[in-house]
Structure 1
Amino acid sequence: MPAPARIILFDLDGTLTDHDQAFGDWALEFSGDYGIPLDRILEADQRHTARHEFFHELRTEFRHVPSVLSLMDDYRIRSAELVPYRPEVCEALGRLNADGWTLGVVTNGSPEAQRLKLDIAGLTSCFASVVISGSFGVRKPHPDLFHLALDDLGADASTRAVMVGDMLDTDVAGGIAAGLDTVWISGTRSRTAQDPEPTYTVPAVLDAAELLLSEDFALRPALA
């Protein structure tokens, strides 16, 4: 088969899926299950980027909850089950496929949870390749994950590719390290001078789709 002419690699959490809604729904359930005030859960979440640290803080204060490892295992699956289905995202991905783009996912996380999110959100069939960090022992921004996806999709020196994601330090930095152009899903955030610089910035994934559908990009070769 000929190599794909154009590839888009997507991040999953916060880009294709509504991570904030899923976490909010999980936090409401967790609050009811263990009698922990919801605002206390949300405060702890704001303080910690590492989930084990978040649970350690709550367990230190509320000793009646299960162990950190048990909480993390439950959270990993339940938060995946709560990912909302967004038909508008599925429709946008279908339009990109129809326009000749080959689509892949490069995501950090556990294979079980990340694949469950793709299924729950109705996204599995949209992608020709899914690369999940937990299967390989390295995490974004390591460029190997991006190269694995490109290899799986059959990219060669003629292929043009772009990485789309919401995190500057993993998606954009990793895409740049892999030699790709990048689209940053900024939301309401702004970039500092110390942050990696994306090729394009848009507020939401639907805007990224419109950008990729409407522009004749002069992307760099994926395997340059």
Structure 2
Amino acid sequence: MKYEVILFDADDTLFDYGMAESRALYNAFAHFGLPTGAGDYAASYKEINAALWRDLEQGRTTSAVLRVERFNRLFAAHKLQLSPEAFSEAYLKFLGEGTYLIQGAVELCQELAGCRLAIITNGIKDVQLSRIQGSPLSGTFEQIIISEETGYQKPERGIFDYAFAKLGSSDRSKVLIVGDSLTSDIQGGMNYGIDTCWFNPLGKEGVPGIHPTYEIRELSGLLEIIR
């Protein structure tokens, strides 16, 4: 095969993060007595959360701050009398139960059994491990590299140094990263000198200056690249 090691992003590449997030928000608001809260505030939450994750990627905040600050901002904006700390704890518990997969993820990983597969994800360790280990892909990955554990975020080089050390790999030409984020996965792979595959199921426009080696609309498209 062309590549020996495949580094997969988790969220919105193999795992359906949108579904997990929606269910976790619904359950958390319901837990605090607001069963319509997810519908009422989801759009606002996603905007706030996305801004904080961009800050995290660029080193302007930490995951410890992010997990509570997003709810602090949301509740302040909508004058909700809820504890951001307690809500965050409940939300993360429910999020960790969200093991929903992108269509074709199981079949793809089965077809790639001849490769060394690993996860490299920006996220919260306990949540990501719970979701991965509770899913049909449990036991599939040789390593699960999580930014909170490494102290670095994609696209920083440090998380790739950590991944390569864990995998005992040194030949960058034999490693491919697959992910949905141009600014995180693809930029990170470009910075590190490894080939990249942009999973772009919705046909989004590219970002100037970020040029993936490959682009696929369905996960099954990766098989032609690998072979």
Q: Give TM-score scaled by structure 1 length.
A: 0.81
Q: Which deviations, in whole Å up to 9, do the C-alpha atoms of 1:177-219 show, x marking residues without a partner?
A: 11111001112142344251111111233333x3334x4xxxx
Q: Which deviations, in whole Å up to 9, do the C-alpha atoms of 1:35-81 show, x marking residues without a partner?
A: 24433222213422125454123322243322x23322322231120
Structure 2 residue aligned with 1:148: 162
Q: Which deviations, in whole Å up to 9, do the C-alpha atoms of 1:67-104 show, x marking residues without a partner?
A: x233223222311202225684223212101xx21111
| Distance in 2 of aligned mates of 1:30 and 1:169 | 30
Are residue 70 (structure 1) and residue 93 (structure 2) matched?
no
Q: Percent identity?
A: 23
Structure 2 residue aligned with 1:112: 126
What SS does the aligned partner of 1:121 have? coil
Cα separation, partners in 2 of 1:64 and 1:153, compared to 1, 3 Å: same
Which amino acid in the other structure matches residue 172 of structure 1?
A: I
Q: Pairwise mapping of residues 36-51 of structure 1 onto structure 2 (< 5 A)?
A: 36-48=36-48, 49=50, 50=52
Structure 2 residue aligned with 1:57: 73
Structure 1 residue aligned with 2:212: 198
Cα separation, partners in 2 of 1:74 and 1:32, compared to 1, 3 Å: closer
| Distance in 2 of aligned mates of 1:188 and 1:85 | 16
Structure 2 residue aligned with 1:211: 224
Contact 1:76-1:113 within 8 A present in 2 as well: yes
Please, which moves more after superposition, 10-19 or 194-203? 194-203
Q: Give TM-score scaled by structure 2 length.
A: 0.80
Structure 2 residue aligned with 1:10: 8
| Distance in 1 of aligned mates of 2:95 and 2:172 | 39
Are residue 94 (structure 1) and residue 110 (structure 2) matched?
yes
Please, which moves more after superposition, 144-153 or 113-122? 144-153
Which amino acid in the other structure matches residue 26 of structure 1?
A: A
| Distance in 1 of aligned mates of 2:154 and 2:209 | 15
Which amino acid in the other structure matches residue 9 of structure 1?
A: L
Are residue 19 (structure 1) and residue 32 (structure 2) matched?
no
Please, which moves more after superposition, 13-22 or 54-63? 54-63
Structure 1 residue aligned with 2:55: none
| Distance in 2 of aligned mates of 1:30 and 1:195 | 39
Question: RMSD in angstroms over aligned alpha carbons?
Answer: 2.4
| Distance in 2 of aligned mates of 1:29 and 1:23 | 10
How far is 1:108 from its partner? 1.0
Q: What is the total number of aligned residue pairs between the two structures?
A: 207
Contact 1:6-1:159 within 8 A present in 2 as well: no
Contact 2:29-2:38 within 8 A present in 1 as well: yes
Are residue 129 (structure 1) and residue 127 (structure 2) matched?
no
| Distance in 2 of aligned mates of 1:168 and 1:86 | 18
Contact 1:168-1:195 within 8 A present in 2 as well: no
